[in-house]
């Protein structure tokens, strides 16, 4: 059955991109040691948010749930440019379409649960960012500084998530995957080869979760499709997230998936047969 390549997820209003099942090249033998070895991995189909969650989208979540807004005074990160107003519960003026930052893995999980989604695995994130041919950046193997918000851009902070779209999106049309903000994934930080069945996708296990993609504070050596970082901190001013949704055909998951899609698209549940 063919599927729409893009959908609008009703709960949070975000555009999502369909990534078909199949094999792709994961990892790199040319980057930092934790990116090796390059290996071939097969994934089931999934949908992923085209862009990271923005401040204005995160506001819908905190308004609907009462979740605390990002506002911190700590000595290990300068949060002044990104703190929300705790009284009005609003993001910094002018940054509504920038990716939300100062969010923990638990904050990202809470948003995903509210939206009827989940965080992508780091394998899904990489597949969405680079396609199937093992490219280093979404647009190819040559770095060009005006194609993403890495340190070379000179922005010195976050920019709107769609600033480099659509010209420099991934082969599947996923945007803002390298630079701008590191992104939380569901995966525990463990060595490659990636194996979904070795416990790294346990959502109850303790440990550092993987961040992907590099940020505005990183140079081209880190702002790449294969860049990965252990999230050994609670939050930071260059860390955000995006969400994903599984697409599975097996009977055991059909009821659960129907409920998720019904919530997202206001599809009425058919009456039970008697």
The predicted model gives 113-123 an average pLDDT of 97
φ, ψ (nearest 5 deg) of residue 184: -65, 140
The percentage of the chain sitting over the pLDDT mark of 90, rounded to a whole number, equals: 84
Residue 254's pLDDT is 43
Which domains does the chain carry?
6-265 (3.90.1580.10)
Residue 4's pLDDT is 73
Mean pLDDT in the chain? 90
| Sequence-separated (6 or more) residues with CB below 8 Å from residue 198 | 190
Residue 188's pLDDT is 97
Q: Which range, 39-43, 227-231, 232-236, is most confident? A: 39-43
Angle at CA 109, nearest 5°, toward 103 and 113? 130
Beta-bridge partner residues of 229: 211
DSSP state, residue 85: B
pTM for this one? 0.90
DSSP state, residue 149: B
Task: Identify the CA nearest to 241 among candidates 83, 134, 121, 133.
Answer: 121
Question: Confidence class of residue 270 from pLDDT cuts 50, 70 and 90?
Answer: very low
What is the Cα–Cα distance from 94 to 96, expressed in whole angstroms? 6
What are the tens digits of pLDDT across the range 138-151? 999 998 889 999 99
Q: Which long-range contacts (CB under 8 A, 24 or more apart) does 82-86 make?
A: 82/158, 82/237, 84/55
Residue 255's pLDDT is 47
Residue 262's pLDDT is 53
The predicted model gives 90-97 an average pLDDT of 98
């Amino acid at each position: 059955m063919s599927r729409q390549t893009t959908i609008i997820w009703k709960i949070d209003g975000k555009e999502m991109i369909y990534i078909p099942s199949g094999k792709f090249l994961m990892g790199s033998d040319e980057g930092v040691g934790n990116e090796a070895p390059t290996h071939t991995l097969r994934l089931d189909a999934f949908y992923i948010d085209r862009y990271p969650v923005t401040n204005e989208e995160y506001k819908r979540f905190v308004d609907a749930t009462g979740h605390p807004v990002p506002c911190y005074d700590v000595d290990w990160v300068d949060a002044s440019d990104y703190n929300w107003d705790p009284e009005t519960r609003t993001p910094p003026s002018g940054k509504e379409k920038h990716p939300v930052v100062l969010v923990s893995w638990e904050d990202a999980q809470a948003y995903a649960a509210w939206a009827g989604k989940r965080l992508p695995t780091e394998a899904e994130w990489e597949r969405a960012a680079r396609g199937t041919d093992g490219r280093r950046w979404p647009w190819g193997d040559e770095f060009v500084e005006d194609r993403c918000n890495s340190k070379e851009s000179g922005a010195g902070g976050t920019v709107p998530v769609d600033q480099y779209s659509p010209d420099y999106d991934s082969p599947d049309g996923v945007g803002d995957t390298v630079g701008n903000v590191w992104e939380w994934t569901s995966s525990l930080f463990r060595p490659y080869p990636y194996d979904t069945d070795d416990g790294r996708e346990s959502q109850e296990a303790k440990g550092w979760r993987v961040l992907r993609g590099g940020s505005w504070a990183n140079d081209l050596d880190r702002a790449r499709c294969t860049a990965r970082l252990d999230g050994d901190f609670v939050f930071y001013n260059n860390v955000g997230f995006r969400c994903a949704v599984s697409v599975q055909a097996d009977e055991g998951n059909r009821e659960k998936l129907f409920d998720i899609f019904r919530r997202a698209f206001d599809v009425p549940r058919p009456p039970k047969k008697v």
